[in-house]
Every structure is written in C-alpha cells, then in structure tokens.
Chains A and B, each alone.
Chain A
Amino acid sequence: MTVMGRYLLRRLLIAIPSLLGISVVLFTVLALAPGDPFGELATNPSIPPEVRMALREKFGIDDPVAIRYVRWITAMLQGDWGFSFASRINVDTLILQRLPATLFVIGSAQVLALMIAIPVGVYAATRPYSLFDQISSTLAFVGFSLPTFFTGLLLILIFSVQLDWLPFVYRADIDAAGWRWYWEHFRQAVMPITVLGLFLGASMTRYVRSAVLDVIRLDYVTTARAKGLGERVVIVKHVVRNALIPVVTLVALQMPAIFGGAIVTEQIFRIPGIGSLLISAILANDTPVIMAVTFVFACLVVFFNLIADVLYGWLDPRITLA
C-alpha cells in the first residue's frame, strides 16, 4: 500500500470512533429525555392497550439502554432511518430531498467567503498596521459580530422591501426554463449566500491575515526576495501557498458554526433545506426526523474534518504520513 493510502486509512480509522462517540452523545440525550415517544398513543383512547403493548414490544421501548442503542445504530447504518410522523414518508427520502439545497447554499457561501478572505487577508498582512489593515480588521470584527438573523432581516428590508430587487422567499419549483430558470435561481440565492458568506468571510479574513503574517517573516521568503524575484511572485507563489495550508484546517473546524448559520438562513429565507426541516420537525414533535437531521449534521462535520485532514496531508509534505 502506498504511503498516502495508509495515511487515508489511518484518518478514516480515527474518524470512526468520533462518529460513534457523537452517536452515543446523541442517543444518551434522547434516552435521558423524560417522556415517552409513545406518550401520544397512550393518551389516545381509540388505541386499545394491547395494541400499545404490542407496539412497545415491537419497538423494544422497555429494553435496556445499551441494547436500544445498538439496535438504533445498526438501523441507522443500514439506512433504515424511520418514518416521519408529520410528512408521512421515510426519513431518508425526506432528508435526501432536502440535502442538495443546504449543500448548495453552504458551498456557495464558503466559496464567497474564500473569495473575500484570501485577497483581503493577504493584502492586509503584506501591509500590517496600515490604513487598509486597520479598516479591514475593524470590518471583520463588525462582520462576525453581526448575527446572521439580523443581517438576513436587514438585507430583506433593503433589497426586497425598499428596493424590490430580490425575492425574499426561496422557491424550489421555479416555473421557467433555460436561462430564465438559472437567472431566477440566482436572484433568490443571492441574499442567503451573501448573509452566510459575509459571516464566514469575516472570521476567515482574520485567519488568513495571521497565517500570512506567520509565514512572511520566515527566512525562505527573504531568500526569495534576495534572489531578485518580484514582490508579486514572492507573495503569490512563495508566501500564500504555504500560508493557506493551516487555513484549510480552519475552514473545516468552522463547519459546526456554518451549520448553525445555515439553519438560521434557511429559516429566514424559507429555503427547503435540512436546517428548516429540523425546525419544522421540532415544531411538529417529529422525533425520528429530528434525530436523523442532527445525526446528518454531525456526520457532515466529521466528513469535512476528514477531508481537511486528507488535504492537509497532501498539501503539506512536512506532515508525517506514516
């Protein structure tokens, strides 16, 4: 097996216990919670007690916690995620329907954030304590102190209510074809992506700035300058390439916060993603959906951490792969 392959395998083996750990935490929360998932059936007079007992038997409510956990996790792994009480379809179908919208918004926001953070952060770091640096770092503070729900409402107020340029409700079914479809899709996605992208970009700008500042003082940069390379080449080819390696990890570590922001954004703009699904499931007491969505969020976090680890090993040859 190649060195890279072994590294991949090792990372994968580290990811599995943390995934299991997360599932234990989730299940413990569920098991500790007071109340009975069949409480509603118990008070419903039209369901006879023997049917209720049979249901309890079937779902194994009265078994010890450890056995219930093993049964739950095997069912989750086999793709049997239960049945949504509210939507009357299987939970996995429901989540698969909703997931693309969420991933699209998060992905585009991430791209937007990088497009802001890398140029601004690098430029600020090459001129530390200049006017540009001071303004950009103040704006970065403003950016991550603005809660996403308030930015969202502000954008709606300005661009939908006052100017009437953009729609503030996200629609999955746009009745148009060809370019018009793309255009409508773009128009409705602008505000949610901006809200999330600015929030992410603000904190990322600070990371990029400090990462570049760390690298720019190193001796090899002085060497590159001494060789007579232009400042542009030094910055782009020598400094930024190395400075961005830790940023990759930070992007992955931000993932849990991104999902928080995505839930809020989806709720404000009524995007049919898994974030708004979680909220509506909570309001409808739809336990299987709530558990599954939380678990999917946790899996996505672990998955992105894994990707970051792999990228890190690939980008930085100083990491021992063995």
Chain B
Amino acid sequence: MVEPQRAARQFSPWLDAWRRFRRHRLAVASAVILVAMILSILFAPLVWKVAINDIDFTARMQTPSWQHPFGTDDLGQDLLARMLYGGRISLAVGLSAMVVALTVGTIIGAVAGMSRRWVGPALMWLTDLFLSLPALPLLLLVIYLFRDALKAAFGPEGGVFVMIVVVIGGLRWMPVARLVRAQFLSLREKEFVEAARALGASKVRQVVRHILPNALGPVIVAATIDVAAAIIAESTLSFLGLGFPPDIPTWGRILYDAKDYLDIAPHWALFPGAAIFLTVLSINFIGDGLRDALDPRRVM
C-alpha cells in the first residue's frame, strides 16, 4: 500500500486557531507574561527560600532593597515570599472556581439545550433568576453563615478554600449555561447530528461525541474570562477581610493588611495590587485573542 502523499501545508483546526491567535499581538504578549508569572510562582520559591512568616522587627515596612526585593510589611515579613505563596492560592482558586462554574454551566446548558419540553424553559428561568442575584452580597452572606462549619470539617485553610471555590463557581455558571444552550439549540438540528441520531446514537453519545466538541469554542473563551473573574472575586473577599485568614497571604489579603499604611509604606499595597491587575489583564487579553482564534466564521 502506498502512503498517501503528505499535504504541503499541514492543516488542523487547532493549528488554524493558533495561527489566528498569533495575529492578536496583545494576546500573545499577555500569554508570555502570564506564563512567566505562573512559572515564577511555581518555581521561584525553590530559589527564594525566605519563610512567609519570618518575623523581623528590626526590618519593619522597609522599601524594596536587595535583601527584600518587594520590601517588608509591618511585622518585617518578606513581601516577595508572601506574594509568591499568595499567587499560588489566587491562581488555584481561579482555576478551580472556573472548573466548578464550567462543569455546572455545561451540564445545565446541555440539559436545557437538549430538552424539547418543559425542562429547558424551567432551567433557563432558574438561570435568569441566578443572574439577577447580587453576587457579592450573596457571597458574603454564604461565607458568614457557613464559615465555622466548613472550618470544622476541612480545617481552617481547606475549609475556606473549598467554600470560596464552590461559592464563586456556584455563582458564575449562568453565562456558560446560556452559551452552551444557545449552541446546542442550533447544533442539535444540524445534519450530522441527525445522521448520528438516525444511526441510533444515544442522547449521551450525540452530546459527547457530536454536539459538545462543536460547541467548545465559546465555552473555552468564557472559561478563560471566568478565571479572571474568580481571581477578582477571591481578592475582593480577602480585601474585605472576609476571605482567607491572615496567615494565608493571598494577594487580596496582603492588600487588606496594607491599606491602613498607604502613607508610610505604599510599596506594600502596590506590589500585590499590580500583581492582581497584571494577571487579570493578561487573562482577559488571552480570552479576547481566543475569541478571535476560535471563531472560524471570522475572516481575518
């Protein structure tokens, strides 16, 4: 048998998407910045071996120097070490909350999109209801009510982490659900799905093999934006003093501690604030680039 002649130029949907993504210069720059930040958060603690709770009263609220590149806080703790640690938590919260939101949203959207009777409209009513809930007040309410029980169940760190992830994810699934449903409504009537149905594919197989892969583009974009929104939500909670406890220095928590010393030690607030801003901005730009990249109808 003769090997089929290889095409001169390789072509695949992912390669095409990558080609489109590269055109968005800000998105590429953001991706580089984000990867650099993630790598430093993951690997810099291996090099920068200062403990996050190393109290040194002789070095309180120092401005950046070689000994403390990001300065110190009111207890003389090294801010670089604390921010590297906090960055891990912030990113972990962002990614896990995105996974929660994506899972819930996809399931609800898929069920609503596949149903031909009352289930779809009922689920959409629920989605609209959740969309009109004021997220931050509700977040604060849930945290106030469940704080102590979860602390008892998962320990102080794990409890807060689980709660924040579930609550943020649980209040952000609605846009995903609407997107998935809208995609499903048009895709399920397409010929290739009808062909699968005629061949006797079960509902689950139709969804998993045929419809969902085709609905993935907008969902990936929404997921990217959700990571940024979850990071902001976590930082907001910590900034209000209602997120992680003081011994877990997430970026929002460092800002909360720093906000009363703005006049003496502005660097203390500027570094974590800039870190949040840079992370969120680059994620948003990457989302914008992906929107261009994953929409094949777009002519570039």
Contact = CB atoms under 8 A, between A and B. Distances in A.
A binds B: yes
Interface of A: 18, 21-22, 25-26, 29-30, 32-35, 138, 141-142, 144-150, 153-154, 156-157, 161, 253, 255-257, 259-260, 263-264, 267-268, 278-279, 282-283, 285, 290-291, 293-294, 297-298, 300-302, 305
B132 A290 contact: no
B281 A141 contact: yes
A298 B285 CA distance: 32
B132 A256 contact: yes
Does more than half of chain B's interface fall in helix, strand or loop, or is it mixed? helix
B240 A279 contact: yes
Interface stretch (B62-70, B74-82, B144-152, B181-189): B144-152
Nearest first, the 3 A-B pairs at minimum CB distance are A33-B145, A260-B136, A145-B281
B140 A157 contact: no
A31 B114 CA distance: 33
B26 A298 contact: no
A259 B276 contact: no
B58 to A, nearest CB: 26
A279 B137 CA distance: 9
B199 to A, nearest CB: 40
A153 B261 CA distance: 11
Q: Taking each of A29, A138, A305, which has the highest tally of chain B beta carbons within 10 Å of its own beta carbon?
A: A29
**A interface secondary structure, majority:** helix
Contacts of B149: 33-35
B208 interface: no
A138 B25 CA distance: 12
Interface residue range, chain B = 35 or more
Contacts of A257: 135
Interface of B: 26, 128-129, 131-138, 140-146, 148-149, 228, 232, 235-236, 239-242, 252, 255, 259, 262-263, 266, 269-270, 273, 276-277, 280-281, 284-285, 288
11 contacts: A29-B142, A141-B281, A141-B284, A141-B285, A145-B277, A149-B235, A150-B273, A256-B134, A260-B135, A278-B137, A279-B240
Contacts of B136: 259-260, 263-264
Given A25-B129, A29-B142, A141-B284, 5 more contacts: A34-B145, A146-B281, A298-B132, A298-B137, A300-B134
A263 B288 contact: no
Contacts of A35: 145, 148-149
A298 B134 contact: yes
B14 to A, nearest CB: 25
